[in-house]
Structure 1
Amino acid sequence: MSIAASELILNPDGSVYHLNLRPEHISNTIITVGDPDRVDSVTTYFDSVEFKIKKREFHTQTGTYKGKRITVISTGIGTDNIDIVLNELDALVNIDLKKRTVKDTLTTLDVIRIGTSGSIQKHIPINSFLISEYAVGFDSLLHYYQSDSVQEKDVTKALKEATSWDEFKSHPYVVSCSKELFNKLSSKHTFKGFTGTNVGFYGPQGRVLRLKLKDNKLNEKLAQFKYNNLQITNLEMETAGIYGLSKLLGHNAISMNAILANRATGEFSENPSKLIEKLIVYTLNKLVE
């Protein structure tokens, strides 16, 4: 059955609506970054760049690094944008855009997030690299999809009980990463983590400027939570959405985190740009090993 024009929106040139991309513009290896300016920070290491385009917060470049074709795309901040990026990237490889039908043979993408994050555990220091083995979403994105099959519901249940989760907050969801990509990108230089994906930077992550928090001990509860060998390690704003949608769509996903802040000790990196640059180089080299 053909997908209606109102559901799969295309631009006059045949590109997908928000990303402004056509299938030939992307590789099967996708690096996502939050900041549009960080796309250039990644592709500056490329041997060559064949394609560039910008639309809204979505900045895309495709090129080669040590002979491997890679696409780098900025998502902006938050899982609302992840919903757009993951669905439209999947449409580019798994939907015939002219016929508006799902292809008989589906393509699997490797999606690698390179982003920043803050640790909530004292033993994970600033200026370190953390790979998210699991992620818990404190947003509601995955609950709009039939997603029970990809959720770790036992972990979610234990987390809600341990934190006395407020009924007015979104129901959390827990998803694991791609084991293949985790093994490929892990090393003695990386920490293994369980990442919390928040719906905001201030209140949802326990920061207080002028507004009082409804639960000012939530970060402490999250840091103390343990389930088997799992312990929540860090907070950011995209990983759980990337993991959830990638699993549902049949793609591999991993989140690489540059730990800029340690919320438990109050420290912040003195040179965040240098740390992010090191993580970019580390990730690119691991991808081509």
Structure 2
Amino acid sequence: MPGDSEDPNAEVQYHVAVGPGDVADAVLLPGDPDRVDKVTALWEDHEEVAHHREYRTATGTYDGAPVSVTSTGIGSPSATIAVEELARVGVETFIRVGSCGAIQPDMAVGDLVITTGAVRQEGTSDEYVREDYPATADGEVVSALVAAAERLGYDYHVGVTMSADSFYAGQGRPGFGGFEAAGSDALIEELQAANVKNVEMEAAAILTVASLYGLRAGAVCSVYANRVTGEFRTEGASRAAETASLAVKLLARMDEVKREAGVDRWHAGLTI
């Protein structure tokens, strides 16, 4: 094995610039660094602990539960770097918090999409594992996100997400000068027929890498656009952030109940 030019076992991580004790066991992962402020505005308290490149991290509490947030920038490569380095300092639960395009006609702008699994159209996860390995969300995280959305009264949809590497050609949009990638004209219709709910750019890689490492991960995104109706508004980001923050609180309680019951996995026979 060749030597590493940046030690992955160093105390302070090379890209995200956090070390042990800087972050909670659960971290929310928005893309936009500016969205960190929208997330922490929902918490009781917080402190920014690092800001390097696109990676901005804050740690605080939501309803008494420790929680952190780290922005990942756009796309799966940078999101996977965040998962890798945060895992090295002890993070065990990751929840992507973002925006997406809905591709089913009954989904309104501002609704939430809770991901159960993802189509791996991005390329980052291919560098980790064979292409037929599934990108699946952890069942406990999905349950906590659904419970949080229900408690908050937010409209939500649950199902499969497609993650692309390109905002334009990879999502069936025309490129510069009207360029169209091969197959892009049929992409959205094929995904609709497969009952895929939404399109975004990070979930598949986050879910895949977390699963490979035995960590919990999920995703909740606000619908900014409906590709069927043509509607677009930047609406609902705080709903996704609040749902994910409450989900962290519920996961902490679920973990307590599991310990009390002497079981390893949450199941329907337990209650919080």
- TM-score in terms of structure 2 length: 0.82
Aligned pair 1:214/2:182, yes or no?
yes
Q: Which of 50, 53, 66 in structure 2 is aligned with 1:53?
A: 50
Q: 1:118: Cα distance to partner?
A: 0.4
Mark the runs of 5 or more structure 1 residues left unpaired by the alignment: 94-107, 154-172, 226-230
1:132 paired with 2:96, answer no
- Paired letter, 2:171: Q
Letter in 1 for 2:240: L
2:255 corresponds to 1:258: no
* Equivalent residue number for residue 183 of structure 1: 143
Deviation digits for residues 176-215 of structure 1 (CA, Å, limit 9, x no counterpart): 1000111111145321120000011011101115212322
Alignment partner, residue 241 of structure 2: 280
Alpha-carbon RMSD? 2.1
SS at match of 2:39: helix
Change (3 A) 1:246 1:219: same
**Paired letter, 2:30:** V
Identity over aligned residues, as a percent? 30
| Residue 6 in structure 1 maps to residue 2 in structure 2 | no
Q: Is the 8 A contact 1:25 1:51 kept in 2?
A: no
Contact 2:117/2:136, CA 8 A, preserved across alignment: yes
Query: Take 2:3 and 2:169, find their aligned partners in 1: how far apart are those partners?
Result: 39
CA distance in 1, matches of 2:76, 2:243: 25
Residue 124 (structure 1) shift: 1.9
3-state SS in 1 of match to 2:106 = coil
Tell me how far 1:16 sits from its aligned partner.
0.9
Q: Distance in 1 between matches of 2:204 and 2:34?
A: 23
CA distance in 1, matches of 2:249, 2:89: 24
| Matched AA of 2:22 | H
DSSP 3-state at the match of 2:134: strand
Q: Which residue of 1 aligns with 2:193?
A: 224
Counterpart code for 1:194: V
Code of the aligned partner of 2:189:
E
Deviation of 1:282 after TM superposition, in Å, equals: 2.9
Q: Is the 8 A contact 2:117 2:159 kept in 1?
A: yes
1:42 aligns with 2:39: yes
Give the structure 2 partner of residue 76 of structure 1: 73
Tell me, which stretches of 5 or more residues in structure 2 are unaligned? 251-272
Cα separation, 2, equivalents of 1:286 and 1:85: 20
Measure the CA separation in 1 of the matches of 2:119 and 2:139. 17
Distance in 2, matches of 1:53 and 1:73, equals: 9
Give, as a single letter, the amino acid of the residue that structure 2 aligns with 1:140. G
1:29-51 Cα deviation digits (max 9, x unpaired): 11000000001111122222244
Task: Compute the displacement of 1:10 (Å).
Answer: 6.9
- Flag the 1:248–1:186 CA change in 2: closer, same or farther, 3 A: same
Does the CA contact (< 8 Å) of 1:10 and 1:17 recur in 2? no
Question: Residues 45-78 of structure 1, C-alpha deviation per residue, up to 9 Å, x if partnerless?
Answer: 2222244221000000011122111110000011
Q: Secondary structure at the match of 1:277?
A: helix
Q: Which amino acid aligns with 1:124?
A: M
For 2:210, the aligned partner's letter is: S
Q: Which residue of 1 aligns with 2:28?
A: 31
Deviation at 1:5, TM superposition (A): 4.4
Residues 213-252 of structure 1, C-alpha deviation per residue, up to 9 Å, x if partnerless?
Answer: 3222121112112xxxxx2111000000000000011110
Question: How far is 1:9 from its partner?
Answer: 4.5
Aligned residues: 241
- Kindly provide the amino acid, as one letter, of the partner of residue 206 in structure 1: G
Question: 5 Å matches for 1:58-69?
Answer: 58-69=55-66
Does residue 1:22 correspond to 2:19, yes or no? yes
- Asked if 1:174 is matched to 2:134, the reply is yes
Cα shift readout 1:158-184 (whole Å, capped 9, x = no counterpart): xxxxxxxxxxxxxxx631100011111
Contact 1:114–1:279 (8 Å) recurs in 2: yes
Contact 2:161/2:198 (8 A) holds in 1: yes
* Residue 118 (structure 1) aligns with: 101
Give TM-score, length-normalised by structure 1.
Answer: 0.77
Letter in 2 for 1:6: S
1:195 aligns with: 161
